[in-house]
Amino acid sequence: MTTRSRFSARLDLENGRVDMSHGAGGRAMAQLIDELFKQALDNEWLSQGNDQALFSVPPGRLVMSTDAHVVSPLFFPGGDIGSLAVHGTINDVAMSGARPLHLAASFVLEEGFPLADLARIVASLAQAAREAGVAIVTGDTKVVERGKGDGVFITTTGIGVVPEGIAISGDRARPGDVILINGHIGDHGIAILSQRENLGFETVIQSDSAALHGLIADMIAAVPDIHCLRDPTRGGLATTLNELAQQSGVGMRIRETDIPVREAVSAACELLGLDPAYVANEGKLVAICPADRAETLLATMRAHPLGAQAAIIGEVVEDPLGFVQMQTRFGGERLLDWLAGEQLPRIC
């Protein structure tokens, strides 16, 4: 029996809407999965129709990470919740030094959500996975009643393998190490903010959402003894440095003039009273490595398209209190504390 023969009419992806039957486990849900998800994602594991994916893994240590994506608006300059859900989890896996292998995706849909928008999101998710070379091999779909969701929430879970000899962790920063970043900060957060009601800017700022595992593979090949990698998403660069300082029991000193920030992002932050150091990113990473390997790592990062604007921004110092200090462009110093409260809600 072919998939199409099970249904009396094709799903109306142009004018249809999600209803409760699409999450009820019956024929309507089977049709949604077959005619939307399977056709967009199209791989040997999904086509088997099992509730799990069976696959072999190469030698090494397994890494697993999961992330829920609840961005608003769902579509924004430079991306959407579909591509974001792929990039975010691939990056979480890759920050361990792992090669991402497969993803699982779980969708929570709100009753009444347009099927055309859902198809656009699934197509974007599928394209992002293909471009990254990481297949989505299993998934789930649930529907909540109208008014009890916000269109679409996506949770992605990823697994990867860390080769032997690689030891990258947030607790490995040491005094004397050097801190690097792969490019401009704040693009994603300001791109999201620019799409919100009454907050349009003259310059269109694109999200930096991207899968970073290719860049990381090049970095590890050049400098295998990288100590720390982390993507500064919610809470931005400042919060990420505080996390790493606390895990490693060290302090950090960075220089404001060395941190890449686009002029448009800087202007938007000044207008809105935001600090770029706390604005979210989705295609950036912080790397910490021994000082004598920093220039090699910087050159490797700049040779990759996703690291062309990479910079050395500071050093790790001895400080049992774990403070992160920033030398300002005016020559003074200020404490970069943890993000307090919520600077931008529902952003990744």
In the block, tokens 């962790």 appear at 169
Exposed, middle or buried: residue 246 (CB in 10 Å: 0-12, 13-18, 19+)? middle
pLDDT at 344: 65
Domains of the chain (ranges; CATH) run: 17-162 (3.30.1330.10), 177-335 (3.90.650.10)
DSSP conformation class of 293: G
Give the max Cα distance, the chain: 73
**300 phi/psi in degrees, rounded to 5:** -65, -45
Predicted confidence (pLDDT) at residue 166 exceeds the cutoff of 70: yes
Beta partners for residue 178, in sequence order: 289, 315
77-81, 91-95, 128-132, 339-343: segment of lowest average pLDDT:
339-343
The tokens of 177 are what?
């190490």
Banded model confidence at residue 151, pLDDT cuts 50, 70, 90: very high
What sections of 81-134 are H helices per DSSP?
81-94, 115-132
pLDDT digits (tens, 9 = 90+) for 31-43: 999 999 999 998 9
The tokens of 29 are what?
């849900």
Q: Write the DSSP string, 234-250.
A: TTHHHHHHHHHHHHHT-
Q: Write the DSSP string, 37-96.
A: IIHHH--TTGGG--SS------SSEEEEEEEEE--SSSEETTEEHHHHHHHHHHHHHHTT
Distance, in Å, from the CA atom of 7 to the CA atom of 148, rounded to the nearest integer, reads 29
% of the chain at pLDDT higher than 90: 84
Predicted confidence (pLDDT) at residue 201 exceeds the cutoff of 90: no
pTM: 0.93
pLDDT digits (tens, 9 = 90+) for 234-285: 999 999 999 999 999 999 999 999 999 999 999 999 988 899 999 999 999 9
50-54, 184-188, 245-249, 299-303: segment of lowest average pLDDT:
50-54
